[in-house]
Structure 1
Amino acid sequence: MWWFQQGLSFLPSALVIWTSAAFIFSYITAITLHHIDPALPYISDTGTVAPEKCLFGAMLNIAAVLCIATIYVRYKQVHALSPEENLIIKLNKAGLILGILSCLGLSVVANFQKTALFAAHVSGAVLTFSMGSLYMFVQTILSYKMQPKIHGKQVFWIRLLLAIWCGVSAFSMLICSSVLHSGNFGTDLEQKLHWNPEDKGYVLHMITTAAEWSMSFSFFGFFLTYIRDFQKISLRVEANLHGLTLYDTAPCPINNERTRLLSRDI
């Protein structure tokens, strides 16, 4: 059996591969059509102009669904492993909410281009990165609380380093982006897709875009740490029947139906 056939390990793998493909394909298309500069554009710039915006939006919507599925499976796994730990239960629920909000923001980014609806696009980006960063820190704390009986120390340290990487990138992007859009470097910067080294604010622009890509890579690395955990879990779907027919409302003793969902048992 291949590693990606064990449990639900294919979920985080598919999430990272699919999202990376969305960035790469839209970037290549935008570069080929000369819609953006090759040197470190904003991720959103690679999906701003047609036809790459259509590809970017469709693939990121699917990525958001994969991300929600991954986050939910992680939530159910932690819930099953620590049924009586109150702090872990609260952190686990908080992680689920933060993760879903981050995925919602990703869908907003995918469907509202910055040149079309800048306010909506920025709101989606802030929701994605802020909630995503908090989700990583919550999961890192959970990894710490669950060691060494459930989680190994190595997994905790890897996730901690990735969370710190994400935090540093987010802080750098926030500071540089705020200074860049303060008004001292021109107006309508959100409409600008081509930058020259002679442009005012070019250095800040490059730092901001580098921080954005760096932050995305930290997310990829974090979800890849789920692969080993997900090899040891599967989900089942259960149908509870409350009548002999679809029209019968009276309760009756009917056996429940259980079906494997995507994989085999733990």
Structure 2
Amino acid sequence: MWWFQEGLCILPVALVIWTAATFIFAYITAVILRHVDPLVPYISDTGTVAPERCVFGIMLNVSAFLGVATMYVRYKQLQALMDEYDTRLNRLNLLGFVLGCGSSLGMCVVANFQKTTLFSMHLVGAVLTFGVGALYIFVQTLLSYLMQPHVHSKTMFWTRLSVGIWTSASIISMFVSSVIMYSSLPGVEVNKKLHWTPGEPGFTAHIISTISEWSLALSFVSFFFTYIRDFKKINLRADVLLHCNHLYDSPHYRPVTARTPAETSPLLAGSI
């Protein structure tokens, strides 16, 4: 058995690989077609012009679905552990799942509202994705702190805290540099500007902002690598419960009496 076949660790692995492939594919396509500059464009700029816009949107929607699935499994795992260790953390765990769903919703908004068409909705999506996503990271980090040493080690807590600090630093850097960039270009529709010339007003702030955005995306995606070890311990099991021996009401079928026991059939070994 390969390592990614153990438990459900394929979920966070698929999320990280697919999301990274989304950004890389859109970037390579946009650069080859000369829709953006090769020097660190905004991630959203690489998915603004067709044909990469369509592929970027579809792939990012798939990433959002994988994100919800991963966060739900994480929520159920911690819920089961909290029943054993500390039931008071259930609300914090639920809050983390809600924040995670909000971040995934933001990815869908970014995927369907391009920066150059409806900038306000695109901005809302970006805030949901990265802002709410950063809160999700810190909630999970706090849970890791409160559940050590029985569930999580100190190493895992410090790893997640480091990723959270990295994410926060990237957000602050991107926000400050973006404010400087927009203020240095009055009257210019910066959200529609896809090509930049070195030395022009706002170029330095633009580069810092784009580097911060790529750093933010990398930190956010990297956080899910910390789930791999935990997800190896999770398996799924589905039980089929038949209440009768036929699917439709028909005189040709004998109805199940009270003496007929219900049938169960395990489909997948293991449990959450």
The aligned counterpart of 2:83 is: 83
Q: State TM-score, norm by structure 1.
A: 0.92
The aligned counterpart of 1:33 is: 33
CA deviation string 1:18-60 (max 9, x = no partner): 1111111111000000000011100001100001111111111
Displacement after TM superposition at 1:86 (Å): 3.4
Which structure 2 residue ranges, 5 or more long, are not aligned?
A: 250-255
CA deviation string 1:144-169 (max 9, x = no partner): 11111111111111000000100111
Whether the aligned pair in 2 keeps the contact of 1:242 and 1:251 (CA below 8 Å) is no
Whether the aligned pair in 1 keeps the contact of 2:82 and 2:89 (CA below 8 Å) is yes
The aligned counterpart of 2:11 is: 11
Change (3 A) 1:53 1:6: same
For the aligned residue pairs, the C-alpha RMSD in angstroms reads 2.2
The aligned counterpart of 2:48 is: 48
Q: State TM-score, norm by structure 2.
A: 0.90
Stretch of structure 1 that moved more, 100-109 or 230-239: 230-239
Displacement after TM superposition at 1:118 (Å): 1.1
- Aligned pair count? 264
Structure 2: how far apart are the matches of 1:139 and 1:162? 11
Structure 2: how far apart are the matches of 1:116 and 1:17? 28
The aligned counterpart of 1:108 is: 109
Structure 1: how far apart are the matches of 2:90 and 2:100? 15
The aligned counterpart of 1:259 is: 267
Structure 2: how far apart are the matches of 1:7 and 1:79? 17
The answer to whether 1:66 aligns with 2:66 is: yes
Change (3 A) 1:243 1:180: farther
Change (3 A) 1:245 1:131: farther
Stretch of structure 1 that moved more, 182-191 or 17-26: 182-191
Structure 2: how far apart are the matches of 1:184 and 1:115? 17
CA deviation string 1:54-108 (max 9, x = no partner): 1111111111111111111111111111115233211110010000010010011
Structure 2: how far apart are the matches of 1:14 and 1:264? 21
* Structure having the higher Rg: 2
Displacement after TM superposition at 1:240 (Å): 4.7
Structure 1: how far apart are the matches of 2:185 and 2:95? 39
CA deviation string 1:171-209 (max 9, x = no partner): 111222233234754421000000111221111111111
Change (3 A) 1:179 1:237: farther
The aligned counterpart of 2:178 is: 177
Structure 2: how far apart are the matches of 1:243 and 1:189? 64
Change (3 A) 1:264 1:172: same
Stretch of structure 1 that moved more, 21-30 or 76-85: 76-85
Structure 2: how far apart are the matches of 1:246 and 1:117? 49
Stretch of structure 1 that moved more, 166-175 or 77-86: 77-86
Alignment of 1:1-266 (within 5 A): 1-83=1-83, 85-182=86-183, 184-241=185-242, 245-246=246-247, 254-260=262-268, 264-265=270-271
Matched letter for residue 165 of structure 1: W
Whether the aligned pair in 1 keeps the contact of 2:181 and 2:203 (CA below 8 Å) is no
Whether the aligned pair in 1 keeps the contact of 2:197 and 2:203 (CA below 8 Å) is yes
Change (3 A) 1:32 1:238: same
Whether the aligned pair in 1 keeps the contact of 2:103 and 2:133 (CA below 8 Å) is yes
Which structure 1 residue ranges, 5 or more long, are not aligned?
A: none
